[in-house]
Structure 1
Amino acid sequence: MKLHGKTALVTGASRGIGQAIAFELATSGIKRLLLVARNEQRLAEVAAEIGVMGVEVIPIVLDLTDRIRVNVVISQAWRDYGQIHLLVNCAGVAYQAPFLQSKLPHVQEEIAINLLGMYTITRLIARRMVSQQTGTIVNVASLMGKVAAPTMSTYSATKFAILGFTQALRGELASHNVQVISLLPTLTDTDMVRDLQLFRGMMPMSPQRVAQALIRGIDRNEREIIIGWQSHLAVWGNYLVPRLLESIIQIAAPLPTQKQFWQRLGAKG
């Protein structure tokens, strides 16, 4: 897909990888950017910074879990700004905890935003892309969608689901000239990750590197974009020696000791 003169919509655009992708698109010839996020102030700041780069920017404050509101806003955006050629689903949240200590509201939020929110907006835009017989959809998954991580069970589950959804959608929309791409960054230095306990030996990459890899992948019509040698090593390790890789991940994971586990579980009642 050639980006010059096109219109793109990016969710999760107020921070992290979504923000970096928005900036990278702005330097790649995109004509118009529709930026979606929940945080109005941060979204306005990002839109203002990109606006001075000569790109038309439309900030859209939107909670993807509000299905009715998403429907209304996307319909209005398509009517007001014309065809959306590129959709980048980047909105997501992550909570870290051993599964037995996880909080149900956190679990529900991860599923609602990471998976159902992505499904809702993709369904609306994909239908319109099919009617136009052109378009590209990028679903931002994670290395944790290939290799599950202890203390990140729900997040991993949503990312595995995103990869399955992406693969199925790719097959369904191919005959309509709509591309569906999965982007799989490894640990990335974002606000979200800074609140997590890191796995031993993992070196975070920059959001800019992830965004640059996406632009290259779109230009090359890649179906799945895996970034970084650690990611490729983990994917191949999971394929060739899965039990060894599981053991390595368990050693690297920030799991509590038996004493800490029972203390925390007791404190939760």
Structure 2
Amino acid sequence: MDIQGKTALITGASRGIGRAIALEFATHGVKRLLLVARDRQRLASVAAEVSALGVDVITLAIDLSQPVEVSIAIARAWRDHGPIHVLVNCAGVAHQSPFLQTRLPQVQEEISTNLIGMYTITRLLARRMVAQQEGVIVNVSSLMGKLAAPTMATYSATKFAILGFSQALRGELSAHNVKVVTLLPSLTDTDMVRNLQWFRWVMPMTPEQVAQALVSGLAKGSNEILVGWQSHLAVWVNRLAPWLMEKLLVMAAPLPKRQPNFYPNFREARVVSR
């Protein structure tokens, strides 16, 4: 797809990969950008950068976990600014910890943003795209949507789910000239990951590299866009020798040498046959 002259909506646009995609789209001739995130001040800053490139820009400071708020904002945006041709679902959060140390509120936040938020806005825009018989939906997953890694179990679960969601949606919407694309970056140096413990041997990418890969993949008509040679190598090794990739992931993961006893008062129940 050629994005020149199109209108695109990008979630998670206030920082990281979302911001980089907004700027990359602007340099490739997109007509109008609708930028979505919760942080109004950060959105305004990105909007100023985009506007300086000669692109019409609208900011929508909304919380994707609030369906009513999202529905009203999208209806108004479509009415006031015309049809949206490209949706980029980039909003996401990640929490890292060994599974036995995970906390339910963090898991709920990952599911709420990474999945429910994506579902909510996609459903609203997909219906309109089907009605106009044109559109592209880009769902940002991750290499961890193909290779789940220790300390990132619940984040990986949401990214695996995005791949499944996208595949099903691709089959349903193709007859209506609506294309569904998945973008799978590996570790990317953004605000979201700077407080995480990085995996050994992984060289982080820049958000700009991810954005460039997306524009290139859209131009080629790709359904799935793996970003970077590390991702291609990891997926290739996993296909040939999944047992080896599993071992490598354990070796690379920032796991403690010995898992602590999280349940010190627990005593193993012994069943005696009589």
Name the TM-score, length of structure 1 as normaliser.
0.96
Query: Match of 1:131?
Result: 131
User: For 2:84, what is the secondary structure of its paired residue?
Assistant: coil
Q: For 1:212 and 1:228, how far apart are their aligned partners in 2?
A: 11
1:148-171 superposed Cα distances (whole Å, 9 cap, x missing partner): 011001110000000000000000
Name the TM-score, length of structure 2 as normaliser.
0.95
> Could you list the runs of 5+ residues in structure 2 that have no partner in the other structure?
265-274
1:154-208 superposed Cα distances (whole Å, 9 cap, x missing partner): 1100000000000000000000000000000000010111111000000001100
Letter paired with 1:242:
P
Query: Match of 1:262?
Result: 260
Query: Match of 1:73?
Result: 73
Query: Match of 1:31?
Result: 31
Report matched runs for 1:54-203 at 5 Å.
54-203=54-203
Cα RMSD of the aligned pairs, angstroms, is: 1.1
Q: For 1:107 and 1:99, how far apart are their aligned partners in 2?
A: 11
1:183-242 superposed Cα distances (whole Å, 9 cap, x missing partner): 000000101111110000000011000000000111111100001111011111111100
Q: Number of aligned pairs?
A: 264
Q: For 1:51 and 1:171, how far apart are their aligned partners in 2?
A: 36
Percent same amino acid at aligned positions?
Answer: 66
Q: For 1:211 and 1:9, how far apart are their aligned partners in 2?
A: 14
1:96-154 superposed Cα distances (whole Å, 9 cap, x missing partner): 00111011100000000001100110000000000000000000000000000110011
Q: For 1:255 and 1:202, how far apart are their aligned partners in 2?
A: 15
How far residue 266 of structure 1 moved from its aligned partner, in angstroms, is: 6.8
Q: For 1:129 and 1:67, how far apart are their aligned partners in 2?
A: 19
User: For 2:113, what is the secondary structure of its paired residue?
Assistant: helix
How far residue 44 of structure 1 moved from its aligned partner, in angstroms, is: 0.7
Letter paired with 1:77:
A
**Structure 1 residue ranges, 4+ long, deviating more than 4 angstroms after superposition:** none
1:17-65 superposed Cα distances (whole Å, 9 cap, x missing partner): 0000000000011010000001111111110111111100101101000
Q: For 1:34 and 1:21, how far apart are their aligned partners in 2?
A: 12
Letter paired with 1:178:
V
How far residue 257 of structure 1 moved from its aligned partner, in angstroms, is: 2.1
**Which has the larger helix fraction?**
1
1:248 correspondence with 2:248: yes
Letter paired with 1:6:
K
Report matched runs for 1:10-21 at 5 Å.
10-21=10-21
Structure with bigger gyration radius: 2
Q: For 1:98 and 1:23, how far apart are their aligned partners in 2?
A: 36
Q: For 1:123 and 1:61, how far apart are their aligned partners in 2?
A: 19
